[in-house]
Structure 1
Amino acid sequence: MSRRSVRTERRLFLADGPKAVEGALEVPDRVMEVFATVAAAEQHAGLLAGLPDGRVTLVESRALDLLSDSVTPAGLVAVVEHLDVPLAGALAAPLVAICADVRDPGNAGTIIRTADAAGAGGVVLAGDSVDAYNPKTVRASVGSLFHVPVAVERDPALAVRAAQEAGLTVLAAEGGGEVDLYDADELLAAPTAWLFGNEAWGLPAGLAELADHRVRIPIHGRAESLNLATAAAVCLYASARVQRG
């Protein structure tokens, strides 16, 4: 299950490490099996205690090393069924994030984690975005993949239109946007879908134009821009501040 094609065909992925396994066990009906070394099973006995007999398999550390892509495997890996929801399920909340062509698994996982922390109710991975179940995405989400509904949509434009039809104001995060984030509280008070683009080239002009507004984060120093995950955190927390204020 190290390859996306295999994960997609089998609808299974690996949750590697104690944090990921802990998150997975919050949806125990999706956990097919947990592989653990003897040492890890003893160290995390409390974590594994709720699993039915036969769901935990003890293996040698070198067998776990073959499953894990971590530099320092923790000796604990769960096999989990896919969790993604239909597009409508990820848009049924007053705050969501739509990622268009986000290729870096660390960024995707961090955005899922940030969306969870900010109280967002869904994340959409659209277009040519990285697989939600890429091991690095799962690890970067630090368990939040199991907390936030995530949808996968091949067409970013369709995701934007679906968000608008669901009653969400779509705000494209764009460096040249006509709205300054500091002046956007009135917009942020409404149910919102933030639209984030690719790490290198941002949002295509046509996709950004589909948004209801394009919002820029003010840059006060000499930095050219913020990286994607940081920009997403600033935007999502700006919405959370207004919506929860």
Structure 2
Amino acid sequence: MSALCLQSSVHADSGDVLPLMLRPAAFLSASAPLVIASFLPHTNVKYALLWQFFLQSYQTRFTLANRNSSAEKSKKLSSRQLLLSAGTVCYATCAGSLPQIMIYKLGVSSEVIKAVLRTMLPIPLSAAVAFISVYTVRSEESQTGIKVFDSNGNLVGLSKAAGQKAVKETALSRAALFGTTAAVPSLLITLLWRTRVIQKSSVLIAPLRYMSVAMGFGLIIPISFSLFPQLGTIKKENVEKNLQEAACDGLLYYHRGL
């Protein structure tokens, strides 16, 4: 157990100790309150933007801290990474608040349209925002490449193809996490709405929504993190030609990141 805790506290590439709140083990406790607050039906666009800003800022910082940094010569973030991160936070904040912005800025009065914007739109929107955010923040790995190793653990070189695969897998896992989290409360409320208890006590809908978001998020995190293995593999024919000869068993290995 202590070995597992130590591994989750240390970055796989640099060996540096990760900040407490940016460790995989702290992801649930740090993100859950922000996720719940961001899914609230806010009465003001400002509050929706504020909570989305907090959530997207943490997600971006977590992605940066747990990226594959094996090809980076300096431990400091480059100016390009900082600009991409800042732009990602701004974009994701606005995109994540889109349902609330549409309701209040466009003056939507139809309850049916409001329900669609608050329950249905966040599902694909949350997944898309999460995917694009990870893909943008870690785009440098796709362009510079990441270190790949043979089956004996020997360094083979830098591979852009492996970098692209690592980023794509992480982006897909994060999209699955937030898309599913957005879907759980909508599906649960739809199923429970037919019961007599909910029909008689509609005040229960709000606490049930918050509880379902928290439970769904907590249950999906381990599935999302393990959707693709941390020790990723890439086939010999999919890497650069100068690296193919080193793939004795037909595979090369890399650290995917989170």
Shorter-chain TM-score: which interval? under 0.3
Larger Rg, first or second structure (1 or 2): 2
- Structure having the larger proportion of residues in helix: 2
- Structure having the larger proportion of residues in strand: 1
TM-score by length of 1: 0.24
